[in-house]
Amino acid sequence: MGKLVEKIYNNLPYPVKFLALNIKAYQNTKQRYTKDFYNYLEEYIDLWDKDLESIEAYQKRKLIALLAEAYQYSEWYQAKMKTLNITLSDIEQDPFGVLEKMPILKKRERKENADRIVNKNRKQVAVGYTSGTSGSPTVNYLDAESINRSFALWRRFHKVIGLDTRNVRQVRFSGRLIVDTTTQKPPFWVYNYFEKQLLMSTYHLTEANLGHYIKKLNTFKPVLLDGYPSAIYIISRYINQHQIQLTFTPKAIAVTAETLYDYQRLEIEKAFNCHVYNQYASSEGSPFITECVKGNLHLNLDSGIFEFINAKGEKAKPGEVAQLVVTSFTNQKTPLIRYNIEDTVLLSGKKTICDCGCVMPIIDKLTGREDDILWTEEKGYVGRMDTAYKGLKGIVKSQIIQESPKDIIVNLIADQEFNDEMKETLLYNLKTRLGEQIEYQINTVEDIPLGPNGKFDAVKRNFTIEL
């Protein structure tokens, strides 16, 4: 949403807001849910239950098509391939060998060369922007197939976790400015009639407002809660603290866009009496990683190709934290070939076939962005800092900021249960995980601002390390 359009929207009376949002929602629905969408959805549902040989054959066909189009119609990739003496015949005969020769595309290159990377043979129907952690927008050109395939994969995920493939009554928490951030009274939400979706603001989740949110949830009775785990966690913690009885039980809660921490999952599942399903995708068109009904995270091999690079720049081994390098089958207009998306995962320590019946590979955890990885001389690379809060009481919200290898700041929003003993325990936990030779500063604050797109950054590293 452009700044001018956003400003106009924020100043509209609430009934006009509802009308404006639903006009846009109608346009989106017509664009997303076409005949092609349903064909792709059927294709993906069938692939979920296929044997690995069939899935890998599908991967090969998609990779040939992607590389061939990039060779012919992308100025950026054509130049790279010709420098490497790659031909269309090479792509047809050995697509995986060609892929291995291609250089890794960095975030900065992707941001600065979008108009050269774009596939000029495909008709552009939409333009998206992703702000990333820096807040500097990256343009993302989209064609109809890219949109339809992304939403088909998303709906496949819904089917896998037991939801209808059609629209279900859902609540969504995202960084979209649903209502003006200065609004003091409800409603803090707007209803998307065409997708049965109640869009709830993540910018108004204060102690004074949470009762209004819960009252609306009890009235709306969603089948699915979807969106940022930090937002759903805040509501869940309030429900559990005040022993509030909900008048509904959702079938599923699906979180995305932020790292899901174990303490958040426990709090959310306790409040809503419902399983939390994790998922990974990106507005840039990254391949999907989704949780199944057995609680395992599957690499959706039919959405792209995943490569894993460890801290030494080598192919990661089982059990290591690794950066994702992705080749996407979903973004056809702005192709991503060996793209370092700067997100990290924890690879499974052993090969396991999931009891859910899907043979697609499993990873252990979605650990976050590269910026979420801390580094100290004593401990090296450290991810998943949520374990530092185990056993602590009174912390409403917390953010760890590493300013340098020897300086850690922890900002806490705390209640009356957080005392000196809890502070000492937290300090001990931090030292255990990050080392003794560090200056730790623990601050109790009134508020912790949200990052770009309304996301909450639980961990921030403000200096560069070579991963």
Predicted TM-score of the model (pTM): 0.85
Q: Residue 67 belongs to what H/E stretch?
A: helix 52-73
The more confident residue out of 170 and 132 is 170
The more confident residue out of 380 and 370 is 380
| Mean pLDDT, all residues of the chain | 90
Q: List the single range of 81-90, 133-142, 166-175, 240-249 with lowest mean pLDDT.
A: 133-142
Token pair of 163 as six digits = 């939801």
3-state helix, strand, coil in the chain (%, to 5): 40, 25, 40
pLDDT tens profile 218-264: 999 999 999 999 899 999 999 999 999 999 999 999 998 888 988 89
Beta-bridge mates of residue 325: 307, 340
Residues 337, 465: Cα–Cα separation, whole Å: 24
Top CATH class of 373-461 equals: alpha beta
Q: How much is the pLDDT for 367? A: 84
* Confidence category of residue 26, pLDDT binned at 50, 70, 90: very high
Give whichever of 67-81, 130-144, 330-344, 416-430 has the largest mean pLDDT: 67-81
Percent of the residues in the chain that have a pLDDT greater than 70, as a whole number: 94
CA atoms within 13 A on the CB side of 44: 28
Q: Are 448 and 397 in contact (CB under 8 A)?
A: yes
Domain spans of the chain? Answer: 3-369, 373-461
Q: Residue 321 belongs to what H/E stretch?
A: strand 321-328
pLDDT tens profile 385-444: 777 887 788 888 889 999 898 999 999 998 888 999 989 989 988 988 888 889 999 999
Q: For residue 271, what are the contacts with CB-CB under 8 A and spacing of at least 6? A: 235, 236, 237, 239, 240, 246
Question: Residue holding tokens 């596939």?
Answer: 119
Q: How much is the pLDDT for 2? A: 52
Residue 276 has φ and ψ, to the nearest 5°, of -95, 125
Give CA separation, 95 vs 62, 154, 167, in Å.
Answer: 10, 27, 37
For 3-369, the fitting CATH number among 3.30.2000.10, 3.40.50.12780, 3.10.20.90, 2.60.120.10 is 3.40.50.12780
pLDDT tens profile 264-316: 999 999 999 999 999 999 888 899 999 999 999 999 999 999 999 987 888 99
